[in-house]
Amino acid sequence: RVHGGKTKEKKRKQKKRKENKRKEKKTKEKKRKIKKQKMHSSTPLIPPPNFGQVEHGLYRSGHPSEMNYPFLEKLKLNTVIDLAPEDPDQKLKDFLEDAGVKYHHLQIFEPSPWKPNWEDMVQQALEIVLDASRYPILVMCNRGRHRTGTVIGCLRKLERWSMVSILEEYRRFAEDKSRVANEQFIELFDTDLVHIPSNHPKWL
Protein backbone atom coordinates (compact mmCIF):
# COMPACT_ATOMS: atom_id res chain seq x y z
CA ARG A 1 0.00 0.00 0.00
CA VAL A 2 2.81 2.38 0.87
CA HIS A 3 4.47 1.61 -2.43
CA GLY A 4 1.19 2.20 -4.27
CA GLY A 5 0.77 5.51 -2.47
CA LYS A 6 4.26 6.62 -3.46
CA THR A 7 3.59 5.72 -7.10
CA LYS A 8 0.40 7.77 -7.12
CA GLU A 9 2.19 10.70 -5.53
CA LYS A 10 4.97 10.45 -8.11
CA LYS A 11 2.46 10.44 -10.98
CA ARG A 12 0.64 13.39 -9.46
CA LYS A 13 3.89 15.38 -9.25
CA GLN A 14 4.83 14.47 -12.85
CA LYS A 15 1.40 15.59 -14.03
CA LYS A 16 1.75 18.86 -12.13
CA ARG A 17 5.21 19.45 -13.62
CA LYS A 18 3.83 18.92 -17.13
CA GLU A 19 0.97 21.33 -16.45
CA ASN A 20 3.41 23.93 -15.11
CA LYS A 21 5.57 23.56 -18.23
CA ARG A 22 2.52 24.04 -20.46
CA LYS A 23 1.54 27.14 -18.51
CA GLU A 24 5.09 28.52 -18.75
CA LYS A 25 5.11 27.89 -22.51
CA LYS A 26 1.77 29.68 -22.95
CA THR A 27 2.97 32.59 -20.82
CA LYS A 28 6.17 32.90 -22.89
CA GLU A 29 4.19 32.78 -26.14
CA LYS A 30 1.80 35.43 -24.84
CA LYS A 31 4.71 37.68 -23.81
CA ARG A 32 6.33 37.17 -27.22
CA LYS A 33 3.11 38.20 -28.99
CA ILE A 34 2.71 41.28 -26.80
CA LYS A 35 6.35 42.24 -27.42
CA LYS A 36 5.87 41.79 -31.19
CA GLN A 37 2.70 43.91 -31.14
CA LYS A 38 4.44 46.66 -29.17
CA MET A 39 7.41 46.58 -31.52
CA HIS A 40 5.16 46.90 -34.57
CA SER A 41 3.04 49.63 -33.01
CA SER A 42 6.16 51.70 -32.35
CA THR A 43 7.93 50.81 -35.61
CA PRO A 44 7.41 53.27 -38.49
CA LEU A 45 5.80 51.65 -41.52
CA ILE A 46 8.31 51.99 -44.34
CA PRO A 47 7.28 50.68 -47.78
CA PRO A 48 9.80 48.80 -49.97
CA PRO A 49 11.66 50.75 -52.68
CA ASN A 50 9.58 51.79 -55.69
CA PHE A 51 6.39 50.63 -53.97
CA GLY A 52 3.06 51.34 -55.62
CA GLN A 53 -0.52 50.10 -55.76
CA VAL A 54 -1.40 48.81 -59.22
CA GLU A 55 -5.02 47.88 -58.55
CA HIS A 56 -7.07 46.95 -55.51
CA GLY A 57 -5.10 44.20 -53.74
CA LEU A 58 -2.29 44.28 -56.30
CA TYR A 59 1.04 45.95 -55.45
CA ARG A 60 4.51 46.37 -56.97
CA SER A 61 7.95 47.10 -55.52
CA GLY A 62 11.65 46.39 -55.42
CA HIS A 63 13.04 43.76 -53.06
CA PRO A 64 12.14 44.61 -49.44
CA SER A 65 14.60 44.73 -46.56
CA GLU A 66 13.88 43.91 -42.90
CA MET A 67 12.76 47.47 -42.16
CA ASN A 68 9.93 47.01 -44.70
CA TYR A 69 8.51 43.84 -43.12
CA PRO A 70 6.07 45.59 -40.72
CA PHE A 71 4.65 47.52 -43.69
CA LEU A 72 4.24 44.32 -45.74
CA GLU A 73 2.50 42.62 -42.83
CA LYS A 74 -0.17 45.32 -42.94
CA LEU A 75 -0.94 44.38 -46.56
CA LYS A 76 -1.87 40.81 -45.47
CA LEU A 77 -0.31 39.40 -48.63
CA ASN A 78 -1.34 36.00 -49.93
CA THR A 79 1.09 35.81 -52.87
CA VAL A 80 4.48 37.24 -53.88
CA ILE A 81 5.77 37.05 -57.46
CA ASP A 82 9.54 37.58 -57.63
CA LEU A 83 10.89 38.29 -61.13
CA ALA A 84 14.54 38.75 -60.16
CA PRO A 85 17.03 36.17 -61.51
CA GLU A 86 18.84 35.85 -58.16
CA ASP A 87 17.55 33.89 -55.19
CA PRO A 88 16.18 36.07 -52.37
CA ASP A 89 18.07 36.27 -49.09
CA GLN A 90 17.13 33.77 -46.38
CA LYS A 91 15.62 36.45 -44.11
CA LEU A 92 13.06 37.34 -46.75
CA LYS A 93 12.27 33.67 -47.35
CA ASP A 94 11.77 33.12 -43.61
CA PHE A 95 9.57 36.22 -43.30
CA LEU A 96 7.28 35.13 -46.15
CA GLU A 97 7.10 31.57 -44.84
CA ASP A 98 6.24 32.73 -41.30
CA ALA A 99 3.56 35.04 -42.72
CA GLY A 100 2.05 32.19 -44.75
CA VAL A 101 2.73 33.96 -48.07
CA LYS A 102 2.98 31.83 -51.22
CA TYR A 103 6.22 32.69 -53.01
CA HIS A 104 6.59 32.31 -56.80
CA HIS A 105 10.09 32.83 -58.19
CA LEU A 106 9.72 33.48 -61.94
CA GLN A 107 13.29 34.29 -62.93
CA ILE A 108 13.56 36.74 -65.84
CA PHE A 109 17.17 36.81 -67.00
CA GLU A 110 19.18 39.45 -68.86
CA PRO A 111 20.37 40.63 -71.25
CA SER A 112 17.53 40.80 -73.78
CA PRO A 113 13.74 40.84 -73.38
CA TRP A 114 13.56 39.28 -76.85
CA LYS A 115 14.56 35.90 -75.48
CA PRO A 116 11.66 33.39 -75.18
CA ASN A 117 12.27 33.33 -71.41
CA TRP A 118 10.77 36.81 -71.12
CA GLU A 119 7.55 35.99 -72.92
CA ASP A 120 7.06 32.75 -70.95
CA MET A 121 7.76 34.34 -67.58
CA VAL A 122 5.58 37.41 -68.25
CA GLN A 123 2.76 35.10 -69.32
CA GLN A 124 3.14 32.99 -66.16
CA ALA A 125 3.22 36.09 -63.95
CA LEU A 126 0.05 37.46 -65.56
CA GLU A 127 -1.78 34.17 -65.11
CA ILE A 128 -1.08 34.37 -61.36
CA VAL A 129 -2.08 38.06 -61.25
CA LEU A 130 -5.38 37.26 -63.01
CA ASP A 131 -6.37 34.64 -60.41
CA ALA A 132 -8.48 36.45 -57.81
CA SER A 133 -8.06 33.59 -55.29
CA ARG A 134 -4.37 34.53 -54.92
CA TYR A 135 -4.98 38.09 -53.71
CA PRO A 136 -3.52 40.28 -52.22
CA ILE A 137 -0.44 40.03 -54.49
CA LEU A 138 2.93 41.77 -54.56
CA VAL A 139 4.94 41.74 -57.82
CA MET A 140 8.61 42.55 -57.28
CA CYS A 141 12.12 42.43 -58.72
CA ASN A 142 15.48 43.86 -57.59
CA ARG A 143 14.60 47.55 -57.96
CA GLY A 144 10.96 47.27 -59.01
CA ARG A 145 11.78 48.95 -62.33
CA HIS A 146 12.28 46.91 -65.50
CA ARG A 147 11.01 43.36 -64.95
CA THR A 148 8.15 44.48 -62.73
CA GLY A 149 7.44 47.41 -65.04
CA THR A 150 7.30 45.08 -68.05
CA VAL A 151 4.80 42.72 -66.39
CA ILE A 152 2.62 45.61 -65.21
CA GLY A 153 2.84 47.21 -68.66
CA CYS A 154 1.56 44.00 -70.27
CA LEU A 155 -1.21 43.86 -67.66
CA ARG A 156 -2.22 47.39 -68.62
CA LYS A 157 -2.58 46.21 -72.23
CA LEU A 158 -5.07 43.60 -70.97
CA GLU A 159 -6.89 46.46 -69.22
CA ARG A 160 -6.97 48.30 -72.58
CA TRP A 161 -4.90 51.26 -71.45
CA SER A 162 -3.49 53.46 -74.21
CA MET A 163 0.21 52.93 -75.01
CA VAL A 164 0.87 56.54 -74.01
CA SER A 165 -0.47 55.87 -70.49
CA ILE A 166 1.29 52.50 -70.24
CA LEU A 167 4.69 53.93 -71.16
CA GLU A 168 4.20 56.95 -68.91
CA GLU A 169 3.68 54.61 -65.94
CA TYR A 170 6.64 52.42 -66.94
CA ARG A 171 8.95 55.45 -67.20
CA ARG A 172 7.72 56.92 -63.93
CA PHE A 173 8.80 53.83 -61.98
CA ALA A 174 11.95 53.31 -64.06
CA GLU A 175 12.91 56.96 -63.40
CA ASP A 176 15.87 57.83 -65.65
CA LYS A 177 16.67 54.14 -66.24
CA SER A 178 13.90 53.30 -68.75
CA ARG A 179 14.86 50.85 -71.50
CA VAL A 180 13.65 51.06 -75.09
CA ALA A 181 13.78 47.26 -75.46
CA ASN A 182 11.35 46.82 -72.54
CA GLU A 183 8.99 49.42 -73.97
CA GLN A 184 9.04 47.68 -77.35
CA PHE A 185 8.37 44.32 -75.67
CA ILE A 186 5.27 45.78 -73.96
CA GLU A 187 4.07 47.35 -77.20
CA LEU A 188 4.43 44.10 -79.18
CA PHE A 189 3.22 41.72 -76.43
CA ASP A 190 0.37 39.56 -77.71
CA THR A 191 -2.37 39.65 -75.05
CA ASP A 192 -4.15 36.75 -76.82
CA LEU A 193 -1.48 34.48 -75.32
CA VAL A 194 -2.85 35.14 -71.84
CA HIS A 195 -5.73 33.02 -70.56
CA ILE A 196 -8.21 35.06 -68.54
CA PRO A 197 -9.90 32.80 -65.96
CA SER A 198 -13.54 33.07 -64.91
CA ASN A 199 -12.46 34.11 -61.39
CA HIS A 200 -10.43 37.11 -62.60
CA PRO A 201 -10.29 40.26 -60.40
CA LYS A 202 -13.35 42.51 -60.61
CA TRP A 203 -11.32 45.47 -61.88
CA LEU A 204 -10.44 43.67 -65.14
Residues catalogued as catalytic: 141
The DSSP element (H or E) to which 58 belongs, if any, is strand 58-62
State the Cα–Cα distance between residues 124 and 137, nearest whole angstrom. 14
Distance in angstroms (rounded) separating the CA atoms of residues 62 and 73: 16
> Per residue in 93-123, is it b (16+ CB within 10 Å) or e — as a string?
eebbeeeebeeeebebeeeebeeebbbebbb
Q: From CA 40, how far away is CA 131, in angstroms rounded? A: 31
